[in-house]
Chains A and B, each alone.
Chain A
């Protein structure tokens, strides 16, 4: 019987090999995910045509609603290779200052917490650099060891898709970010990774870091070598803090130049804003996507209470191939909060419940925050596209 099964597998392969080879990629199967994970079309950046034939752009709309992916198809052979960074730079579709979000399609239809995070596990910033004749995308990220031309094996070898989100930056601001990146990359030992995403740096008891803005100042001091302690951050804190220095020139640094990228009162994000009135909270990426996709009213409520803020998979062993133990634990720790959020939406978003939720969490920034702001049309963020390696 074993031989029978192997034979059937081979027969399947043989029948497949008999089909005509595809010259153009189809829209990627791995992006067949729930529509609330897709960015609204109204949030998409205007981009030029790809300048590199190795990067093929195809739109992948949702079956309904005004949502979808703009897929940047790269060759499978360049995944976790420097050539991917060269291809993307050559295409002209990635710019200095763009935010790269590690997107995990396998988080779809799993746990409420994973849904709330829009399947995003990590954030980094992209820079276009040259080395000799090569022009490529160089990342800057926390852990600092991930910083690479998209080839750090611990992260990029098993990363199947990457969202690109673009903040609105002037040329001067991009140059400033480059100068900070130069300082950071020249002193990697001053930077370390902090793994508890629920505890932002300004709440860790460091006497001179008591507000989100202080985190940005601390990054500047560490980069310039005037701080006595390292910059210990999770990925999104690092990207957010770096963006907060976009108006600052290192050689003439004055703390007055610091400007958080989010236009919130404290600079980071609270948990939830009822009806998304002029703001968006950490939990509202899916809601912002749905509203941006013209899904409102009872349809929106149904999606949020029956598809988003629900655990779909109950068997832990089934999650092993979808997310790490660390992410599963965070999801487990937040299970009750997800039920509260489900009740919040089921109850037509009462203000007191939102206030109660917000009092239980610190203002914070998650990797998902950048796409949430883009989904909500806030702070000049736009979705550029999603890289997959399937050609």
Chain B
């Protein structure tokens, strides 16, 4: 686990390094796959996150300086998934700024969304040119109540976005360009 997290931190360094002069997105799934499960579990239970905030959230392991979830300290024989990467710790620190459970429920209702229990989970961390967290996107957390996902690996077009300023919003992903099938030409039609 320790090696894995050290590796994850290195990967994060590289990712941020390549995006040093512009905004970028880090996919947590590659940096810390176990962290994805931790964060999604907590986001599904926002009251847990508020508890996290009230408890001053995350503690660094004295020996390794690795971030550790608070109550896991009481479970020395179950170290996983208590140890998390710096990126996951940063996400949890951002999320624990306030209790957003009421906001999330309101967003689900107003946008006709439901929690999605089937899609693959992805967490994207948007960073500013300085590497600071701009927003956290939760993909596969919700779906439209009447949204038909066409295939096993399809993901809802609705994303829950948590900004660094602790606001919650829904982002709908759309095609950046549409194709008029009557306008395109294959080589035999030229």
- Where the two chains meet, the residues of A that have a C-beta atom closer than 8 Å to any C-beta of B are 1-2, 4-6, 8-10, 12-19, 21-22, 25-26, 29-30, 76, 80-83, 96, 102, 104-106, 121-122, 127-132, 138, 143, 145-146, 148-149, 151-155, 157-158, 160, 174-175, 178-179, 181-182, 185-186, 193, 195, 235, 315, 317-318, 320-327, 330, 390
Contact A178-B186, Cβ < 8 Å, known A5-B60, A131-B179, A154-B150: yes
Interface residues of B in 166-190 (CB under 8 A from A): 173-177, 179-181, 183-190
Q: Flag if B179 contacts A152 (CB, 8 Å).
A: no
Rounded to whole Å, the gap between the CB of B114 and the closest CB of chain A is 15
Q: Flag if B181 contacts A185 (CB, 8 Å).
A: yes
CA of A81 to CA of B176 in the docked complex: distance in angstroms? 6
Residues of A within 8 A of B56 (CB): 1-2
CA of A181 to CA of B131 in the docked complex: distance in angstroms? 45
Q: Flag if A155 contacts B175 (CB, 8 Å).
A: no
Rounded to whole Å, the gap between the CB of B66 and the closest CB of chain A is 11
Residues of A within 8 A of B33 (CB): 106, 318, 321-322
Q: Flag if B187 contacts A175 (CB, 8 Å).
A: yes
Q: Flag if A130 contacts B190 (CB, 8 Å).
A: yes
Provide a sorted-by-A list of 11 A–B residue pairs whose CB atoms are within 8 angstroms. Answer: A2-B57, A5-B57, A16-B20, A17-B20, A29-B15, A82-B177, A154-B149, A154-B157, A155-B155, A160-B27, A324-B152
Residues of B within 8 A of A104 (CB): 153
Q: Flag if A152 contacts B175 (CB, 8 Å).
A: yes
Residues of A within 8 A of B107 (CB): none
Contact with A186, one of B16, B175, B181 (Cβ below 8 angstroms): B181
Closest 5 A/B residue pairs (Cβ): A13-B131, A321-B36, A326-B152, A143-B150, A325-B118
Contact with B131, one of A10, A160, A175, A390 (Cβ below 8 angstroms): A10
Rounded to whole Å, the gap between the CB of B134 and the closest CB of chain A is 12
Q: Flag if A106 contacts B184 (CB, 8 Å).
A: no
Contact with B29, one of A106, A148, A153 (Cβ below 8 angstroms): A106
Contact count band on B = 35 or more
CA of A231 to CA of B128 in the docked complex: distance in angstroms? 47
Q: Flag if A122 contacts B153 (CB, 8 Å).
A: yes
CA of A196 to CA of B21 in the docked complex: distance in angstroms? 46
Q: Flag if B24 contacts A158 (CB, 8 Å).
A: no
Q: Flag if B184 contacts A129 (CB, 8 Å).
A: yes
Q: Flag if A1 contacts B183 (CB, 8 Å).
A: no
CA of A319 to CA of B84 in the docked complex: distance in angstroms? 16
Residues of B within 8 A of A129 (CB): 184-186
Q: Is B79 an interface residue (CB 8 A)?
A: no
Q: Flag if B132 contacts A131 (CB, 8 Å).
A: no
Rounded to whole Å, the gap between the CB of B26 and the closest CB of chain A is 10
Interface residues of B in 40-54 (CB under 8 A from A): 40-41, 53
Residues of B within 8 A of A21 (CB): 18, 20-21
Q: Is B59 an interface residue (CB 8 A)?
A: yes
CA of A183 to CA of B30 in the docked complex: distance in angstroms? 40
Q: Is B11 an interface residue (CB 8 A)?
A: yes
CA of A2 to CA of B150 in the docked complex: distance in angstroms? 41
Residues of A within 8 A of B9 (CB): 12
Q: Which residue of B lies closest to A82 (CB)?
A: B177
Rounded to whole Å, the gap between the CB of A298 and the closest CB of chain B is 28
Q: Flag if A14 contacts B154 (CB, 8 Å).
A: no
Rounded to whole Å, the gap between the CB of B159 and the closest CB of chain A is 9
Q: Flag if A151 contacts B120 (CB, 8 Å).
A: no
Q: Which residue of A lies closest to B70 (CB)?
A: A1
Q: Which residue of A lies closest to B89 (CB)?
A: A5
Q: Which residue of B lies closest to A323 (CB)?
A: B120
Residues of B within 8 A of A29 (CB): 11, 14-15, 30
Q: Flag if B37 contacts A317 (CB, 8 Å).
A: yes
Q: Flag if B11 contacts A16 (CB, 8 Å).
A: no
Q: Is B12 an interface residue (CB 8 A)?
A: yes
Q: Pick from B40, B89, B188 the residue with the most CB of A within 10 Å.
A: B188
Rounded to whole Å, the gap between the CB of A338 and the closest CB of chain B is 18
Residues of B within 8 A of A13 (CB): 16, 127, 130-132
Q: Flag if A1 contacts B131 (CB, 8 Å).
A: no
Q: Flag if A322 contacts B14 (CB, 8 Å).
A: no
CA of A60 to CA of B174 in the docked complex: distance in angstroms? 33
Contact with B30, one of A9, A18, A30 (Cβ below 8 angstroms): A30
Q: Which residue of B lies closest to A131 (CB)?
A: B184
Q: Flag if A14 contacts B130 (CB, 8 Å).
A: yes
Contact A179-B150, Cβ < 8 Å, known A106-B29, A151-B175: no
Q: Pick from A132, A158, A195, A321 the residue with the most CB of B within 10 Å.
A: A321
CA of A158 to CA of B124 in the docked complex: distance in angstroms? 10
Contact with A155, one of B151, B180, B181, B184 (Cβ below 8 angstroms): B151
CA of A64 to CA of B154 in the docked complex: distance in angstroms? 35
Q: Flag if B25 contacts A76 (CB, 8 Å).
A: yes
- A320-B36, A326-B118 given. 17 additional CB < 8 A pairs? A5-B93, A10-B131, A14-B130, A16-B17, A16-B131, A21-B20, A30-B30, A128-B187, A129-B185, A153-B175, A157-B139, A160-B27, A185-B181, A318-B37, A327-B152, A330-B152, A390-B18
